[in-house]
């Protein structure tokens, strides 16, 4: 079977040191968590950044500092900045990391309740605006879909030529407000993808590793990390993102999938830097 791309979502915008003291905030902490993830087998770092007090920011200067520090620790790794940021951020605030011309970035494909009180706003015109910017800069969008309807929205944008094939999706399962993470829900999402697209799957909270296994056996790729889950096993906080990646690698290998290097991942995803 094809090699498996493991993405490490090392920090996120919502999880804090109160949830798990090992969540990285500073540039050094973020770069160190990226290194641990890479050494454990991750080929993509999905990146949010924080100020030193933990406040999430999309500030381009802070992103550049973190990206430079990550590249120093693991030069080959693919860095995938978030354009989702945190709920409540304005569009142009969220888009700032695009100015750094990363190889990939996320493109969130719909509006939804996000947890108990927050609303994650992505109108169709917002998604088009983000997609157009990525197209102009040759940045491959990872299409973040939190529910089935968001796949329809992504396909609408393909028709309108805001997004070019081959498509790459991230099926995010288990956010409160989005689709759940059962096998039936995973299969429904997976079967709804257009042919020839690649996909990663992300299970939130206790669903992290069951969704990883579903992705591994069905030809997909895996995302794990503190952004989505802080536990190594029930009741046991992970000491680092590296531990979560190691567990994902063990699952993937048992299921016959070897982790892809960043170079292999670039080829599989047809990124602009692929050799």
Give the binding site for ligand KMH (CB under 6 A).
13-14, 82-84, 86-87, 106, 108, 114, 120, 144
Angle between helix 27-40 and 60-73 (nearest 10): 40
Q: Spell out, one character per residue from 40 to 79, where the chain touches Zn ion: x when CB under 5 A holds, - when not.
A: ----------------------------------------
| 197 binds, options Zn ion, ligand KMH, none, Cβ within 5 to 8 A by partner type | none
Which residue lies nearer to ligand KMH by CB, 77 or 86? 86
Which residue lies nearer to Zn ion by CB, 14 or 258? 14
Q: Spell out, one character per residue from 72 to 91, where the chain touches Zn ion: x when CB under 5 A holds, - when not.
A: ----------x---------
What residues from 139 to 168 belong to the interface with Zn ion (CB under 5 A)? Answer: none
Handedness of CA 201, 205, 207, 209 (dihedral sign): positive
Which residue lies nearer to Zn ion by CB, 82 or 198? 82
SS3 letters for 87-102? CCCCHHHHCHHHHHCC
Peptide bond into 166 cis (omega under 30): yes
Taking the C-alpha atoms of residue 118 and residue 102, their distance in angstroms, rounded to an integer, is 28
Which residue lies nearer to ligand KMH by CB, 181 or 251? 181
Query: CA distances (Å), 60 to each of 33, 57, 63, 67, 83, in order?
Result: 20, 9, 5, 10, 11
| 153 binds, options ligand KMH, Zn ion, none, Cβ within 5 to 8 A by partner type | none
Q: C-beta of 44: minimal distance to ligand KMH in Å?
A: 12
Q: C-beta of 195: minimal distance to Zn ion in Å?
A: 27
Tell me the DSSP string of 58-125.
--HHHHHHHHHHHHHH-TT-EEEE-SS-STT--HHHHTGGGGG--SEEEEE---EEETTTEEE---HH
Q: C-beta of 41: minimal distance to ligand KMH in Å?
A: 21
Please count the residues of this chain forming the interface with Zn ion, following the rule CB under 5 A: 1
- Using Cβ positions, the residue closest to ligand KMH within the complex turns out to be 84
| Look-up of token digits 């992103």 | 63
| 258 binds, options Zn ion, ligand KMH, none, Cβ within 5 to 8 A by partner type | none
Taking the C-alpha atoms of residue 21 and residue 265, their distance in angstroms, rounded to an integer, is 31
Which residue in 189, 195, 186 sits closest to 150, CA to CA?
189
Rg (CA), the chain: 17
Which residue lies nearer to Zn ion by CB, 94 or 257? 94
**Footprint on this chain of Zn ion (rule: CB under 5 A):** 82
């Amino acid at each position: 079977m094809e090699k498996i791309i493991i993405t490490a979502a090392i920090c996120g915008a919502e999880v804090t040191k109160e949830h798990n003291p090992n969540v990285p905030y500073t540039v050094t902490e973020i770069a160190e968590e990226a290194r641990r993830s890479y050494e454990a087998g991750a080929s993509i770092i999905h990146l949010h950044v924080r100020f030193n007090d933990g406040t999430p920011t999309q500030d381009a200067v802070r992103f550049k500092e973190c990206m430079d520090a990550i590249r120093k620790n693991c030069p080959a790794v693919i860095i995938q900045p978030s354009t989702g940021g945190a709920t409540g951020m304005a569009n142009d605030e969220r888009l700032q990391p695009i100015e750094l011309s990363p190889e990939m970035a996320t493109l969130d494909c719909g509006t939804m309740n996000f947890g108990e009180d927050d609303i994650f706003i992505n109108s169709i015109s917002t998604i088009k605006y983000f997609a157009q910017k990525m197209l102009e800069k040759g940045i491959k969008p990872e299409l973040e879909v939190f529910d089935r309807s968001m796949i329809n929205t992504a396909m609408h944008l393909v028709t309108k030529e805001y997004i070019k094939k081959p498509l790459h999706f991230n099926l995010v399962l288990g956010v409160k407000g989005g689709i759940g993470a059962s096998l039936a829900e995973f299969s429904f999402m997976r079967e709804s993808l257009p042919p020839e697209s690649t996909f990663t799957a992300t299970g939130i909270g206790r669903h992290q590793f069951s969704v990883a296994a579903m992705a591994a056996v069905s030809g997909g790729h895996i995302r794990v990390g503190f952004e989505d889950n802080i536990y190594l096993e029930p009741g046991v906080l992970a000491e680092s993102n590296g531990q979560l990646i190691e567990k994902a690698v063990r699952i993937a290998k048992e299921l016959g999938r070897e982790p892809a290097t960043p170079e292999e991942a670039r080829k599989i995803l047809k990124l602009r830097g692929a050799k």
